Chain A
């Protein structure tokens, strides 16, 4: 095969090689544009801690108050949108003194769980409830860190962590 043809074919090879990368980049681009399938845990790092939060007890439900983090009811439908502010520590349950008072949900124990802050992270801990506490559909057996967008289920009530 004459040299010029070989040289031409070499250019053709390099062109197709870069075409391959164009296709790859396009595939990456298509994926980046798509919404993520599952809620992502934010990168590990200190969450800015906040100290002067409004008293959580007065926050049931009080749409006016916007703390840095809130617990928002997403299910059941008739309580959807109710909000609870997160202070340094709130208890969850059906008993009167609970910061997150879920008095109507009979599947919630009197003192069901607590949500607290430590070193800038927010944790949820089950306090020996009858029906359990679930973080993103996984049973909470020890204090676990919750992030923005996580869903916590107490009894039949599901709350989402929002900022």
Chain B
């Protein structure tokens, strides 16, 4: 218990550093772009400090024993992302500021509502239906909307929202609880086929159904990045819950079949792969975005051109999909590596929280949430750096996009809740002392 104040003190100290860093970067970007301090420097500093402080106070009150580094690291990523969005588009920056406040509110609300992570386990089918419902929402005529060839958006009046972001979290909860229930059945082969003992498919059916359905939905919405994320999450959780490596092989095989089908069926996928393998075939159309991203990264060199000083704003989708290229351009390899470092630390911390959990459900959920964060970062950074085909997922906490930001803050809150649960010594007064406390002889 004596660790709680120490942890929160560490957190507060890191938050001060985050405010200094974000404020400094904002001022630098202002000087670099316009030659002067940004006009709203004072309010900017005040608002980021206030937002982080709200998160910190909520932690002190609601999860005092939780890990101290996740919130400041997320705040740093959020702050750096905001500066680069503001540097690219004032309009988007205003919206992103509002969404950051909503995200922080969602963070506090999640911490306040989910008082014990294990309570989530009981609502597994609620979460399954919620997740699938949210995934289906954009396909509903009149509500859904196509943006950039992917049907991911829901608009209610003037408000646009990507429900798939929240659906990921709901389905991670469902997978974790469903797998905990079946882990034993899934780790032992019981059905004989020829000479081999294989898993009884009956036990897998509900999970496979949920997975297949959501995969079909993703494909119908043309969101390749998210379907890969979802698939990786599913296979990863199967592997972790059963401890059987063959699930990784199974996953690789299914992935190969899936990508083959996707390539032959979805034109969207085909053009993405061609733009990845040879962007120079169509340098002014399908390859344009990737090529501009690569130029930006190359121009950045080791230390970057300086915040606000590059001409990165001409890159298509600079503030969402390609924001990593913009950061690499203006802060160079050092800045880009720092971003990756931040993600590594967050994923590592998430897995460390998972390792320390005593209950399987929390262990799996923490693993799943860390996987979401890590795989999503890999998919988008890999896409921008041309390691894999570029698909439009957001860079967590950094990219412009409200739904993603809110979802990631909720994810963070759940991870911290699990961490708090694990680090809090369990109350020892659950059993009534049978008869007095004396050390009477046996």
Interface residues of A (CB under 8 A from B): 1, 6-7, 9-14, 16-21, 23-25, 27-28, 34, 36-38, 40-41, 43-45, 76-79, 102, 104-105, 107, 131, 134, 136-139, 153, 155-157
Contacts and interface: CB of A to CB of B under 8 A. Distances in A.
Q: Nearest 9 CB-CB pairs, A to B? A: A104-B442, A27-B10, A24-B69, A20-B17, A14-B334, A10-B306, A1-B31, A105-B442, A17-B338
Contacts of A44: 183, 243, 360
A27 B14 contact: yes
Nearest to B14: A23
Interface stretch (B96-104, B215-223, B315-323, B427-435): B427-435
B306 A23 contact: no
A27 B68 contact: yes
Contacts of B355: 43
A143 B347 CA distance: 35
Given A13-B24, A16-B24, A40-B358, 12 more contacts: A9-B28, A10-B307, A11-B303, A13-B307, A14-B331, A17-B338, A38-B358, A40-B356, A77-B439, A131-B434, A137-B430, A155-B434
Contacts of B428: 137
B32 interface: yes
B338 A79 contact: no
B25 interface: yes
A142 B283 CA distance: 66
**Interface residues of B, dominant DSSP:** helix
B83 to A, nearest CB: 11
Contacts of B76: 20
B14 A14 contact: no
A37 B424 CA distance: 8
29 contacts: A6-B306, A6-B309, A7-B306, A9-B28, A9-B31, A10-B304, A10-B307, A12-B24, A13-B28, A13-B331, A19-B17, A23-B13, A23-B14, A27-B10, A28-B345, A28-B352, A36-B356, A37-B3, A38-B425, A41-B358, A45-B243, A76-B440, A76-B441, A107-B435, A137-B430, A139-B431, A153-B431, A156-B435, A156-B442
B295 interface: no
A16 B434 contact: no
B301 interface: no
Nearest to B337: A18
Contacts of A17: 21, 335, 338
B32 A156 contact: no
A28 B69 contact: yes
Contacts of B338: 14, 17-18, 21
Interface of B: 3, 10, 13-14, 17-18, 20-21, 24-25, 28, 31-32, 35, 68-69, 72-73, 76, 183, 243, 303-304, 306-307, 309, 331, 334-335, 338, 341-342, 345, 349, 352, 355-356, 358, 360, 422-423, 425-426, 428, 430-431, 434-435, 439-442
B335 A14 contact: yes
A41 B439 CA distance: 29
B31 A76 contact: no
A20 B18 contact: yes
A49 B426 CA distance: 31
A74 B62 CA distance: 35
Given A9-B28, A17-B335, A17-B338, A24 B434 contact: no
Contacts of A134: 431
Given A28-B69, A131-B434, A34 B439 contact: no
Contacts of B356: 36, 40
A137 B304 CA distance: 57
Contacts of A21: 338, 341-342, 345
Nearest to B436: A156
Given A18-B338, A138-B430, A10 B303 contact: yes
A37 B17 contact: no
A109 B70 CA distance: 49
A34 B124 CA distance: 35
A133 to B, nearest CB: 11
Given A1-B35, A16-B17, A38-B426, A78 B358 contact: no
A102 B441 CA distance: 12
Contacts of A28: 69, 345, 349, 352
Contacts of A41: 358
A13 B307 CA distance: 10
A38 B342 CA distance: 28
A35 B403 CA distance: 39
Contacts of A34: 3
A24 B70 CA distance: 9
A139 B430 CA distance: 9
Nearest to B72: A24
A106 to B, nearest CB: 8
A16 to B, nearest CB: 6
Contact of A157 (B17, B28, B342, B442): B442
A157 B20 CA distance: 57
A76 B439 CA distance: 6
